[in-house]
């Protein structure tokens, strides 16, 4: 299977920017995703980026993709306490005909007031 790595914990102050990093191994990945999981809840799709893009911005979220280094990051501007959650990076297995998602272990983001 594919390897998707993330750091496990990140703490920031409210109002600061958060940057969550992810590395992956499959150079042929087509789509890379960021999901958010709040305590006791399911996974919510935050954003995704296609592999031919370098950057995607969506309101407070900025996704950067460095294909050469196989590095993906999610930047959250003006982080709020409501952003506290686990953030999962995921990639699609391009060799699979039906979109097998490989997840990182998740980064627990804690936002301090």
Partner 1 sequence: DTAVSQTPKYLVTQMGNDKSIKCEQNLGHDTMYWYKQDSKKFLKIMFSYNNKELIINETVPNRFSPKSPDKAHLNLHINSLELGDSAVYFCASTPTGLRETQYFGPGTRLLVL
* Positions in the binding site for partner 1 (CB under 8 A): 30-31, 33, 35, 37, 41-45, 48, 86, 88, 92, 94, 96-101, 103, 105-106
Which is nearer to partner 1, 74 or 86 (by Cβ)? Answer: 86
Closest CB 39 distance from partner 1, rounded Å:
11
3-state secondary structure of 82: helix
Closest CB 106 distance from partner 1, rounded Å:
5
Tokens of 67: 């294909």
3-state secondary structure of 44: strand
Q: For residue 23, count CB atoms less than 10 angstroms from its CB and return exposed for 0-12, middle for 13-18, buried for 19 or more.
A: middle
Closest CB 20 distance from partner 1, rounded Å:
14
């Amino acid at each position: 299977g594919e390897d998707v790595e993330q750091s496990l914990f990140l703490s920031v102050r409210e109002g600061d920017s958060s940057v969550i990093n992810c590395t992956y191994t499959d150079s042929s990945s087509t789509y890379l995703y960021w999901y958010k999981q709040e305590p006791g809840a399911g996974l919510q799709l935050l954003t995704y980026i296609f592999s031919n893009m370098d950057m995607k911005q969506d309101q407070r979220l900025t996704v950067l993709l460095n294909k050469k280094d196989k590095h993906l990051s999610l930047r959250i501007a003006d982080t709020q306490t409501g952003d506290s959650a686990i953030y999962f990076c995921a990639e699609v297995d391009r060799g699979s005909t039906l979109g097998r998602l490989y997840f990182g272990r998740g980064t627990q983001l804690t936002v301090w007031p």
